[in-house]
Structure 1
Amino acid sequence: MAVFTPVTLDDLNQWITQFPLGKAVAIKGIASGIENSNFFITTESGEYVLTVFEVLTFAQLPFYLQLMRHLAERDVLVPAPVANRDGEILHTLHGKPAAIVSKLAGSHQMAPQPLHCGAVGAMLARMHLAAQDFPLHQPNLRGLDWWRTTTPIVLPYLSPHNRDLLLAEMTFQQAFAGTDAARRLPHGPIHADLFRNNVMFDGEQLTGFFDFYFAGCDSWLFDLAVTVNDWCIDLDSGRLDVARVRGLLDAYHAVRPFSADERAAWQPMLRGAALRFWLSRLYDFHLPREAEMLTPHDPTHFERILRDRIAHPAPDLF
């Protein structure tokens, strides 16, 4: 993520003595994303990821960290939070919340084929099922309530053409959210941000999902729509690649079959997932925060995706 809070090797070595990791020998800021300060760290015992949280609070963070621990204990491929010698996984660094998690092997798969999409779909279904008995609850903080709050903030920055699109889609999504079918959708903890750069592969082998700091409780179908809108598209046009869509959906369905309500909600949910990221990118682009390394994402990418989902229905679930 962008580095908002600098951490030097000396800072790290003074702080890391509470962990059974040995001395820190290297630290490197990760210059992608916009929410937290993330660093690769190398210690005498191995490689890890340090996160200093810039937005999430001490009260909110147990949900995310305990969810990762819960999933890792159930053999879902996610980073495991590292406890200090007192058994704590949430800490303070430079006056801010901080955590260390295990580093996943491999690299991002930025040109996915149906095989990669299938691996993501199967693991996502496993994740949803494994989290069913997770005892903590937190809403999706970038869900419909946040859309309602953020829409009037970004509207003054938009062209008339885009203002019309945003207002019309908000009307559509609010009406859909009020339907019985939407209220009956299976739900639980979701990742909510499962883009290509939040998944690791070693060759064709999926090695894990990471960056759970947008997770919350919402419909599983929303999580699936977010994932399809990134993994299964042509990045230039936003158009869906049917072979990749089928690969991801078929693999997911083989682990957790879709309900009739999910089949009915699929098209609105793909539009809602596109709207969520268009809104967040509009906000970050027009109201940026200062950071040592900050690269706001282009909001027009998800504008194109939203317009395409409205104009061209996606392949059905089943």
Structure 2
Amino acid sequence: MAVYTEVNASQAGELAAALGLGEVLALRPISSGIENTNYFLTTSSGEWVLTLFERLRADQLPFYLHLMQHLARAGLPVPEPRGNPAGELVHSLGGKPAAVVNRLKGESLDAPDLHHCAQLGGVLARMHLAVESFPLHQPNLRDIDWREQAAPVVRPYLDDSAGALLDAEMAFQHHLAQSPAYRALPRGAVHADLFRDNAMFDGLPGREQLSGVFDFYFAGVDTFTYDIGVVINDWCVDLDTGRLDVARAEALLQAYQAVRPLAGDELRLLPGLRRAGALRFWLSRLGDWHLPRDASLLTPKPPLHFERVLRDCIEQPWHPAQ
């Protein structure tokens, strides 16, 4: 969890007034996330989430916020950013760019089952269809170019085994990215960080319904297959071992394909793009672990988990039926 920029009630009150949200009744830091500062904001008009962006610039934010607005207005369970009277979605607070979105009902799940994975697969496919009409474009900021820059920074902190794994995987991903099949994959604006703590379910135990998908601040244009791989690597993986739960993966992918069938190359390259997703999060966690930023609250996540996920992707690749 992280709070890099502390906000007081007076500051929040000024922003709430400017957005027509009424009186601030409560302001509470959110004990999750590692990239941005987040608060639950309760006002006389309802429940909101206030985000201050610690790395993203104000000129980068319209892509994310308009993407959320686009998906919410397409009927997907995505929080919608609150604009000011001029319709601007990017605000300023504490010297940082900021946004306010409506707070959705529900809670994140620590242990999703087949029922939850299937629901997520269907919503993910609907998101991928919905962005076909989204006009803005921004690259995935954690793409292969980012990996090329991040890898040499963390490489000195690795032992021989992990270093050899990193070197080999970087070479593999470079070759994959140059292939004609990869270059021809369908693309669009993807979430790129849809872990189980970025979705919520609401309802009675065993009958929960997916009620929210949030935290789009790693979104960017990339292949839809990569986005599926990122989701499978979290929702369908055992957290203690990093091994794939095939039953959960099949439930998620079958539900996805019931909405948006995958082309042959999308299925064929999914194992390699699962590896790309595992590599991306292993690198980012290595950076957060060995080179942490200053924050009043900060608990970086151990990088070993995604090293295990990557090894499992390589040693026991899952090839879904075509």
* Pairwise TM-score range, normalised by the shorter structure: over 0.9
Cα shift readout 1:246-296 (whole Å, capped 9, x = no counterpart):
110000001000101112201111111110100000011111001011010
Structure 1 length as normaliser, TM-score?
0.98
- Corresponding position of 2:122: 122
Confirm or deny that 1:270 pairs with 2:274. Answer: yes
- Corresponding position of 1:162: 162
Q: Distance in 2 between matches of 1:10 and 1:171?
A: 52
Q: What amino acid sits opposite 1:257 in the alignment?
A: P
- Corresponding position of 1:244: 248
Cα shift readout 1:137-193 (whole Å, capped 9, x = no counterpart):
000000100000011100111111111100000000100111111011111000000
Confirm or deny that 1:176 pairs with 2:176. Answer: yes
Q: Distance in 1 between matches of 2:181 and 2:76?
A: 29
- Corresponding position of 1:11: 11
- Corresponding position of 2:26: 26
Contact preservation (8 Å) 1:91, 1:99: yes
Q: How does 1:47-196 map to 2 (within 5 A)?
A: 47-196=47-196
Contact preservation (8 Å) 1:32, 1:294: no
Structure 2 length as normaliser, TM-score?
0.97
Q: Which runs of 4+ in 1 moved over 2 A?
A: none
Q: What is the percentage of aligned positions where both structures have the same residue? A: 54
Residue 317 of structure 1 deviates from its aligned partner by 4.9
Cα shift readout 1:11-36 (whole Å, capped 9, x = no counterpart):
21133211121101100001222110
Q: Distance in 2 between matches of 1:38 and 1:77?
A: 20
Q: Distance in 2 between matches of 1:149 and 1:21?
A: 42
Q: CA RMSD in A?
A: 0.9
Q: Distance in 2 between matches of 1:34 and 1:113?
A: 26
In structure 1, stretches of 5+ residues that fail to align are none
Query: What SS does structure 2 have at the residue aligned with 1:226?
Result: helix
Contact preservation (8 Å) 2:201, 2:210: yes
Q: What amino acid sits opposite 1:111 in the alignment?
A: A
Cα shift readout 1:20-70 (whole Å, capped 9, x = no counterpart):
211011000012221100000100011000000000001100000000001
Confirm or deny that 1:230 pairs with 2:263. Answer: no
Q: Distance in 2 between matches of 1:179 and 1:137?
A: 23
- Corresponding position of 1:294: 298
Q: What amino acid sits opposite 1:5 in the alignment?
A: T
Out of 211-220 and 307-316, give the one that drifted further. 307-316
Query: What SS does structure 1 have at the residue aligned with 2:262?
Result: coil
Residue 85 of structure 1 deviates from its aligned partner by 2.3
Residue 110 of structure 1 deviates from its aligned partner by 1.4
Confirm or deny that 1:307 pairs with 2:316. Answer: no
Q: Distance in 1 between matches of 2:160 and 2:202?
A: 45
Contact preservation (8 Å) 1:242, 1:315: no
